[in-house]
Amino acid sequence: MPDDAAHASSSASRSPTDSAAVPAEAAVSGGPPAVVPPVYVVGGGPGGLAVAAALGAYGIRAVILEKADSVGASWRGHYDRLRLHTTRRLSGLPGLPIPRAYGRWVARDDVVRYLEQYAEHHRLEVATGVEVRRVDRAAGGGWVLHANGGRAPAARTVVIATGYNHTPYLPDWPGRDSYPGDLLHAGDYRNAAPYAGKDVLVVGTGNTGAEIAVDLAEGGAARVRLAVRTAPHIVRRSTAGWPAQATGILVRRLPPRAVDRAARVMRRLSVPDLSEHGLPMPDTGLYSRVLEGAIPVQDVGLIDAVQRGAVRPVAAVASFDGGVVRLADGDAIEPEAVIAATGYRRGLDGLVGHLGLLDSRGRPRVHGPRTLPSCPGLHFTGYTNPISGMFRELSLDARRIAHAIAEAHAHAHAHQDPAPAPARTRSRTTHS
């Protein structure tokens, strides 16, 4: 790695012509230059790994900077029962399918294992223990990455891939600090064991909140209530073998109104009316909600749990008053634990907020292959929440980003005599 202070946890860089590498895209302007500066990829999750592998297909060196001590850190911290809600076949990253042995709906531990295999298979260069805290413009063009330990590597091209679910968000409910019970964000929940025999309130009806509520009900909690601010759209994860993800891929470019109408019909055919249980049909259409950032809940047991009364929907949380949780409809309950599945923030403000490229919700105004004219060479991946599946879109984004970077490198070197290509050597595996 160019910065001697940063240590690389890496495998050998595989040639883009190697049959086991990511399939190379069409040649860009006669092929990539023989020598190019490294691209820094910030984040060692699936998005960062996919970009690095896709760049390798063009012969472009990518160095992944990961603040944790291993790749896939966010997946390692998810709750135990989590599985991909997208199919194995449609979730593989470029150049390496997810093994069939992992099943159709891949479990959390197998996702982690796959990401480890992916980094090893493509011999990706990963510098662990390197936390990039700020990205600034370099005096002569390009970017300087200010990281822990006084590190400040510079590069012409940087890809930010720190993840959609980066910083846990816990609402500042009035009286929250007076609550004597267990109050935690869903990111800290692992399994139902600590809550056996307890009265638990889960706040939030996204996929995480829905699945944690089911996990608690099945894991022995005495009572499970689910606080609902906005009734979610619920879809079957699979209908007659057809995954909801495949439908999401087919409809994502259709007019939202048409998709909303079709989804309403499908819900009536496949999902029972849960209005009498506290989960009415949403007022807005499914795809209209997706465009606002609300992904439908894929049923992994919620429908049955609500119908049986094992999970009871209640109104949204309004405030805390000691051990009492007051709800928006005026009811008051006294749960022994509250688990807030209230989402995450992108966490990009400190990193790039000063560059003027974030929107009002803290998301990059451009992503994938596009960059802002004011920020050339600064790419983002993984900051959307697509109905077609996150891993699939990360894969597509990775190829597009790599192609754009290869074009930019080829253009920059078009009038330079190519230097001899350096020999590829196996890198060491070390840690900061």
If pLDDT is split at 50, 70 and 90, which confidence band does 18 have?
Answer: very low
If pLDDT is split at 50, 70 and 90, which confidence band does 172 have?
Answer: very high
Q: Are residues 70 and 217 part of one domain?
A: no
- State the alpha helices, DSSP H only, in 343-387: 349-352
* Domain of residue 204, residue span: 170-343
What are the pLDDT digits (tens) for 379-407?
999 998 888 899 999 999 999 999 999 99
Of 37, 91, 98, 27, the C-alpha closest to 57 is: 27
Which among 312, 343, 374 is the end of a domain? 343
Q: Are residues 357 and 307 part of one domain?
A: no
If pLDDT is split at 50, 70 and 90, which confidence band does 293 have?
Answer: confident
What are the pLDDT digits (tens) for 334-383?
999 999 999 999 899 999 999 999 999 899 999 999 999 999 999 999 99
What are the pLDDT digits (tens) for 314-329?
999 999 999 999 999 9
Q: Are residues 113 and 47 part of one domain?
A: yes
Q: Are residues 293 and 187 part of one domain?
A: yes
Over residues 263-291, the mean pLDDT reads 91
Which among 343, 358, 376 is the end of a domain? 343
If pLDDT is split at 50, 70 and 90, which confidence band does 37 have?
Answer: low
pLDDT of 4 higher than 50 = no
pLDDT of residue 291: 85
Average pLDDT, the chain: 88
If pLDDT is split at 50, 70 and 90, which confidence band does 253 have?
Answer: confident
Q: Are residues 267 and 143 part of one domain?
A: no
Pairing of strands 223-228, 199-203: parallel
Q: Are residues 184 and 72 part of one domain?
A: no
pLDDT of 135 higher than 80 = yes
Structure tokens at 142: 């390009």
Sheet strands (E) in 300-349 = 312-315, 317-321, 324-327, 332-333, 337-340, 344-345
CA distances (Å), origin 384, targets 35, 259, 391, 402, 410: 33, 19, 11, 18, 29
Residue 1 lies in a domain: no
| Full-model pTM | 0.85
Of 272, 212, 205, the C-alpha closest to 236 is: 272
Which among 316, 343, 370 is the end of a domain? 343
Residue 21 belongs to domain with CATH number: 3.50.50.60
- What is the DSSP code (8-state) at residue 266? H
